[in-house]
Amino acid sequence: MNAQTAIPEVKTREMSYAEAIRDAMAIALERDPTVILMGEDIGVYGGAFQVTGDLVERFGTDRVMDTPISELGGAGVAVGAALTGLKPIFEFQFSDFAALAMEQIVNQAAKMRYMLGGEAAVPLVFRMPAGSGTGAAAQHSQSFEAWFGHVPGLKVVQPSTPADAKGLLLAALEDPDPVIIFEHKLLYKMKAQVPEGYYTTPIGKAQIMRPGRDVTIVASAIMVHRALEAAEKLAKDGIDAEVIDLRSVRPIDRDTIIASVRKTGRLLCVYEGVRTLGVGAEISAMIAESEAFDYLDAPILRLGGAEAPIPYNPDLERAAVPQAPAIEAAARQLVRREV
């Protein structure tokens, strides 16, 4: 008789998205003496969005370091630290400010391992609070995942849940290449069950959040939750939407998306970044160049941000990026069913 092996139950506890990120950083600091935290106001102040919290009190200023107000300088120090064998986690107060550090991120961090023939690695993580919805206006509300996803040598992820926010951060620290984590600001207070202890979420692997048969909706970050809200409305009228959480922008999980489109015959790409040259354009091209193209029953639709800076006015701000009703309407258009 073969005895069945019992699968241990994973213990979880409720955490907010911000708490899950803090938990991941605390675990990393405890497990690995080479991990350090860097950024503006991450020490006593606890971070611009209070994510680092009390980590400076727990691990000291040698491990949790406030940097001067110079994104270029701070990112450069992080690159140098990674080259010497440390694993820095560098926090930008807003992802928009990464524009000031493009030289270090794009020309140094992304290319160093390639230019040195693999003899050196740059294992660092850039944390970037991103997205609109907080009334922070045009210079503090952008979505730059497509910018950085265009650069070979970088990995780019967008966790949509507290569990993935923790798991992807811990996975990023195990990667020899620099990883950019875009954390949507509206998700920081979201709460859910998160596995305790150490675990990783694979970079480059999407997740089917809701199985369906009529239309595939690919989304990431806050758009995953808006897509799920739209899917519930569609289901009431018999339209069965499959919602895929992209999770990783670079690399993209081709297999999961292609398999879904082959099943549903319809694809809707939803993303907060500006529609033109956005992540949805890459996914659309990927499907057009794959075997899934022959299974399409309708043209691919992209639903992205407006071709304009993010407005300060709350109503205009909401109108500038996809909301659940717009996702619902686009899916209805794809299945050609009016209610």
Question: Torsion angle of alpha carbons 268, 151, 201, 232, nearest 10°?
Answer: -20
Question: Which three-class secondary structure state does DSSP give residue 126?
Answer: strand
Is the predicted pLDDT of residue 4 greater than 80, yes or no?
A: no
Confirm if 191 and 16 have CB atoms less than 8 A apart: yes
What per-residue confidence (pLDDT) applies to 9? 77
User: Does pTM surpass 0.75?
Assistant: yes
- 333, containing H or E segment: helix 324-335
Which phi and psi angles does 331 have, rounded to 5°? -65, -40
- Least confident interval from 1-5, 212-216, 262-266: 1-5
Residue identified by tokens 């930008």 is 92
- Using one digit for the tens of pLDDT, what is the confidence trace for 272-312? 999 999 999 999 999 999 999 999 999 999 999 999 999 99
Report the C-alpha gap between 95 and 91 in whole angstroms. Answer: 9
Residue identified by tokens 């999980």 is 253
What per-residue confidence (pLDDT) applies to 1? 41
What are the catalytic residues? 71, 140
Is the predicted pLDDT of residue 186 greater than 70, yes or no?
A: yes
Question: Which three-class secondary structure state does DSSP give residue 166?
Answer: helix
* Ordered structural domains, the chain, with CATH: 12-195 (3.40.50.970), 207-335 (3.40.50.920)
What per-residue confidence (pLDDT) applies to 50? 94
- β-strand partners of 179: 125, 155
